Amino acid sequence: QSVLTQPPSVSGAPGQRVTISCTGSSSNIGTGYDVHWYQQLPGTAPKLLIYANSIRPSGVPDRFSGSKSGTSASLAITGLQAEDEADYYCQSYDRSLSGSVFGGGTKLTVL
Amino acid sequence: QMQLVQSGAEVKKPGASVKVSCRTSGYSFSSYDIIWVRQASGQGPEWMGWMNPNNGNTGYAQKFQGRVTMTRNTSITTAYMELSSLRSEDSAVYYCARDLGYSSSCDFWGQGTLVTVSS
């Protein structure tokens, strides 16, 4: 069980908007530590989508956006496309564990 | 272009050690921490620790303290991760990645190294 909780799955039709939540605690997100988001396609390494809560690395479409509030963070994907079907993970630092942690992951299905 | 190329798959017996290499190119090796992450089949990524290639400083996840060692050879811009006292639960794909500089946010990743622990 990760200290960062994500819904196991979300789904949406092409063109729709979906959000993926990442719920932490006062030991991690709530303390102000940055949240990062990754997309992972089967058989490949994770790809950085969002870092420092809301910054997109070069090359990541602006359909992807991140936000943080209190002890939670969210990844929003607008204009869903078939190629967005993947696993998504949040990541943050946890002071109790004295290290970084990943969420359990969310599988996005594009209907 | 920026690359992190890892060593090949390994099969180890329980109790043995494994050392995975991560050869980097295309950027200043000493300027970015290297992060090690592993991922068991069907599971999410698991952060193992970090290493500063400039001074060799390291920080390990509590779970791996005493079993993991992260080192580097700056002359060949290569990082290493050694895990000892292997058990079946250590079977996973091990990744090295470059830390962008925002608390282990990893912008470039190696291709992964499959480590299988089996008697």
Nearest beta carbon to residue B47 from set A45, A101, A105: A101
B106 vs A contacts (CB less than 8 Å): 36, 38, 46, 48
- In this structure, what token pair is assigned to residue A15? 């063109």
Distance from the B44 Cα atom to the nearest Cα atom in chain A, whole angstroms: 6
DSSP percent split of chain A into helix, strand, coil, nearest 5: 5, 45, 50
Average of per-residue pLDDT across B71-90? 98
At A15-43, the pLDDT tens digits run: 999 999 999 999 999 999 999 999 999 99
Give the DSSP per-residue string, B22-46: EEEESS-GGGS-EEEEEE-TTS--E
**Confidence (pLDDT) at A1:** 81
Average of per-residue pLDDT across A71-91? 97
**Confidence (pLDDT) at B102:** 79
Distance from the A63 Cα atom to the nearest Cα atom in chain B, whole angstroms: 19
Is B105 close to A34, i.e. CB distance below 8 A? Answer: yes
Is B47 close to A46, i.e. CB distance below 8 A? Answer: no
Q: A43: phi > 0 → left, psi -120 to 50 → alpha, else beta; which? A: left
Q: Over 90: is that where the pLDDT of B103 sits? A: no
Cα separations in angstroms, A50 against A10, B40, B85, B96, B114:
19, 23, 36, 19, 27
Q: Tell me the pLDDT of chain B averaged across its residues.
A: 96
For residue B97, what pLDDT band results from cuts at 50, 70 and 90? very high
Is B44 close to A89, i.e. CB distance below 8 A? Answer: yes
At A9-18, the pLDDT tens digits run: 999 999 999 9
Q: Over 90: is that where the pLDDT of B61 sits? A: yes
Is A46 close to B109, i.e. CB distance below 8 A? Answer: yes
A103 vs B contacts (CB less than 8 Å): 44
**Confidence (pLDDT) at B101:** 84
Q: Is B107 on the interface with A (CB under 8 A)?
A: yes
Cα separations in angstroms, A42 against A78, A80, B42:
22, 18, 10
- In this structure, what token pair is assigned to residue B77? 């811009």
